[in-house]
Amino acid sequence: MKNTPTVRDLRSALALLKTLPGEYVETDTEVDPHAELSGVYRYVGAGGTCQRPTRKNGPAMVFNKIKGFDDISVAIGINGSRKRVSHFLNCPPEKLGHLLKDSVQSPIPPVLTTGKAVAQEVVHLATDADFDLRTLLPAPTNTEEDAGPYITMGLCYASDPLTHESDITIHRLCVQSRDELSMWLTPGRHIDAFRMKAEELGQPLPISISIGVDPAIEIAACFEPPTTPLGFDELSIAGSLRGQAVEMVNCLTINEKAIAHAEIIIEGELLPNVRVREDQNTDTGRAMPEFPGYTGESKDALPVIKVKAVTHRHQPIWRTTVGPGEEHVNMAGIPTEASILDMVGRAMPGKLLNVFAHSAGGGKLLAVMQFKKFSPADEGRQRQAALLAFSAFPELKHVILVDEDVDIFDSDDVLWAMQTRYQGDIDTLTIPGVRCHPLDPSQVPEYSPSILQQGMSCKTIFDCTVPFHLKHHFERSKFKEVDVKRFLPDFE
């Protein structure tokens, strides 16, 4: 029997992928981190909402030679297919939302390690004369018009200056100078709440950025309120997924912790009352490609992280992602599914069978919900479930409701249900004037008179379920059950 590597960090995750056919590729051809690296992976396996042509469910990729950088490689697309995530978490792909829901309910808090952390084998201090983030770290640009090099897979960890409760999440970080990063925090994020508290006190907020970690942490960090309220440390979800606590290590130059097994750690402080224009070095007016498939506008005044130190493993692996790719779908979408399953399950147990945060919405804007009606009294409950989904995940824009015989992970099957079980005049429910996600470019007053300000949206439910009293008219053709392997032994 083949030994399967136990996933505990990025390197063991890559080792596992190397044992799985078609899930891993690498190249020794030198690549430029400026636009070229992401340009290559767009074809290899980005998927998601990326510009076509792209490849959905393509392999993860490692670039071994980065132009301008020695002894460092770059890994991309690690979570870029649901199948790969299922291997990392040892769970069937269709059950991942259920797994994460259960993990939220059985958290294992992180612990502080007492031994030497591999993430601190090599130390670079900002006080060193040759310290420069731009030459030390191969942060790529996704396109040639990006505001600058971006850290797209940095696990940002900070603590409330008053309660000392901690939070971890992924944010858009742009390299602005030798020792400064700009940080975009969408409204409602917990680290932004910590930052504002520190700013009111006139204090900097210590923050660590761990790069290249166990995929379980990358996914757990993408949970949002109300499933993980203020003060809930998402690292405890990753601990539950692994059945053991995530090990942390004290930073060297700031009063904060970081992930001990990370490839790279950036230590810094969010400065009070300091702001910077995101594209000050390029003047493009653009930030970087985001999950809806469009390049976001650069922001005029973003908080600044003053970097104090960078530590890393020997020959570290930089971790990045393509903003609109399938990797975002899985990292953001599977926690979204878990949040919806949890809220609806508590309100109406057994009715909602499964949820898919669809790739077309980047894991955030579109959910397909599989609902089962058991009796005439369940008619209408499917629409209540959709309303609860909007509460469970406020950035959700559209919900498609389908019956239990529809494969929610097969878009053709979902669209079939829409064509044969949906009438637009009676099965469309709209909720205008509701907050959604600020990166949706259609959410502007110029697009619709119902939108009073940017960031508002019309949330819509598409009820593609059969009315209970008509179910006998909508039975799918039933084919004979056979053992295909009698005819094709290698069939999967």
Q: What residues act catalytically?
A: 290
Question: How far from 392 is each of 229, 409, 425, CA to CA, in Å?
Answer: 12, 21, 27
Non-local CB neighbours of 482 within 8 Å, separated by 6+ positions: none
By three-state DSSP, how is residue 13 classified? helix
Cα angle 81, 411, 375; round to 5: 115
Q: Which helix (H) or strand (E) holds 108?
A: none
Residue among 319, 115, 298 nearest 212 (CA)? 319
Contact 433, 450 (CB under 8 A): yes
Residue among 319, 372, 376, 380 nearest 345 (CA)? 372
Q: How far apart, in whole angstroms, are the C-alpha atoms of residue 78 and residue 418?
A: 33
Non-local CB neighbours of 416 within 8 Å, separated by 6+ positions: 406
**What value does the CA radius of gyration of the chain take, rounded to a whole number of Å?**
23
Long-range CB contact pairs, 379-383, < 8 A, 24+: 379/467, 379/468, 379/469, 381/348, 381/351, 382/351, 382/463, 382/465, 383/429, 383/461, 383/463
Q: Hey, what amino acid is at 136?
A: L
Q: How far apart, in whole angstroms, are the C-alpha atoms of residue 415 and residue 434?
A: 26
Residue among 346, 351, 447, 343 nearest 396 (CA)? 343
